[in-house]
Structure 1
Amino acid sequence: MLIFAHRGASAIEPENTLLAFNAACTANSDGVEFDIHHVDGKLMVIHDRYLERTTSGRGLLIAHSYAQLRQLNAGKGAIIPTLDEVLTVVTKQSVINIELKGIEIKYISVLFEYLDNAKEVLKLNVKKILLSSFNHHLLQAIYRQRPEFSLGALTAGLPLGNAQFAQQLAAYSVHIVLDYVNAEFVIDAHQRGLKVYVYTVDNLIDIKKMKALGVDGIFANNPHQARLYLQQI
């Protein structure tokens, strides 16, 4: 069972910052997960649409310019990083899961530019990239334009057809919230050839349950602690 550092090692360092991603790389995680928004022509690594929870700023993320956002404190003096900055840090991770939060279909060419540049400059193996989203129209558009990228289909509930929607999207994996994953869903997804990744899993009881269900990976805020728990099972 893989362990993904959720927004980096976000229980240890401020989420979605280079501090958190550096911590994730030393925490024995198998992969890293983070969120991106398209802002002012740039791809910024941040989870929320609003700034208050994770930064010193206020208001809507997209109401600010790139220069303004770079002046904010994202925790412990860290700035909001760009996608290319994060990729530079996490290149050696086995799986790099980029969740597409605030990016419209018309801007996916910007995403491709970033990833193509990382492939050329950082020698990043694009097979490590896993693009996930709750916006299934966006995933469909990516598959049609760049089918070489693996896709992760996100769901915040338990779909009536279990993992059928993810198979229809030609996804590599289906990402389901901890509260709703069950044996029927996992079996169905595996029968469809999909990996099952569950978010967010941090305590020993839940990790034991996920292991018993046979899920393929979990997203943890403290990947080091999750690894220690997994070793106890």
Structure 2
Amino acid sequence: MKKIAHRGAKGHTSENTIAAFGMAIDMGSDGIELDVHLSSDGELIVFHDETTDRLTGQSGHIESFDSKAIAALNVDGLHPIPTLREALDFIGTNCFINIELKTEKTVVPVIELLTDLVSNGADYNQYLVSCFDWSALQYIHDKMPQIPLGVLTETDLDLAIGFAKTIKATAIHPYFHLLTRENVTNMQQLGFKVYTWTVNEFEDLERMKSFGVDGIITDFPDRL
């Protein structure tokens, strides 16, 4: 079972920062999940929220800032906001990288970046692109089926399974409260990895492990 650090080691330091990714690697994570938005001038930015308010103290929509303005912001007053290329370069081959697309605007730039990295020696299988917007995943499947895909869902598991079949997804990423031992086994028998999120409490972690999931996305990779 893979331990996947949610936004890096989010439970210990500022989320989606190089510091969080470094800590996740040091904790022996098998994977790192991170989020991407697009800046106003087309740079892929590793950031979760639609607005900068919660994390930077600066008010505004992340997509309304250009890359220079974003570079001047700090998460929790301490850590710069990385670009996706900076994050991928830093993580390297230490673990696989789950890129969650936060908006449809990121789809084409992410395809272009991954294609560029692979042309320079990386492997598509080092990456896993996930999204709650399934139309974004459908687009990637149609244009670049080599990119592994993960279907995110927090509501309807049956719909997610059906869609995952359609796009030949690598994984299904269900909210952990949706899971039972039986439906985990069913998804695996259909050929999908089951990477569940976001599991932090020891009791829930043990329950997910007992269900035999393939990976757990957690703020505390050191708890696995």
Aligned residue type for 2:93: K
Q: Which residue of 1 aligns with 2:12?
A: 12
TM superposition shift of 1:169 = 2.3
TM superposition shift of 1:11 = 1.1
Where 2:57 maps in the other structure, the secondary structure is coil
Q: Which residue of 1 aligns with 2:90?
A: 89
Aligned residue type for 1:172: T
Query: In the aligned structure 1, how far is the partner of 2:150 from the partner of 2:9?
Result: 21
Q: How many residues align?
A: 223
Q: Which residue of 2 aligns with 1:171?
A: 169
Q: Which residue of 1 aligns with 2:51?
A: 50
Q: Pick closer, same or farther for the CA change 1:161–1:68 going to 2, 3 Å.
A: closer
Q: Per-residue CA shift, 1:77-111, capped at 9, x if unaligned?
A: 2111100000011112332100011233xx53321
Query: In the aligned structure 1, how far is the partner of 2:174 from the partner of 2:142?
Result: 24
TM superposition shift of 1:150 = 0.4
Query: In the aligned structure 2, how far is the partner of 1:38 from the partner of 1:159?
Result: 29
Identity across aligned pairs (percent)? 34
| TM-score relative to the length of structure 2 | 0.93
Q: Which residue of 1 aligns with 2:178?
A: 180
Contact map agreement 1:130 1:152 (CA 8 A) in 2: yes
Q: Which residue of 2 aligns with 1:118?
A: 117
The unaligned stretches of length 5 or more in structure 1 are 228-233
- Larger mean Cα displacement after TM superposition, 66-75 or 6-15: 66-75
Q: Which residue of 2 aligns with 1:190?
A: 188
Which of the pair is proportionally richer in helix? 2
TM superposition shift of 1:163 = 2.0
Aligned counterpart in structure 1 of residue 217 of structure 2, from 216, 219, 226? 219
Aligned residue type for 2:22: N
| TM-score relative to the length of structure 1 | 0.90
Q: CA RMSD in A?
A: 1.6
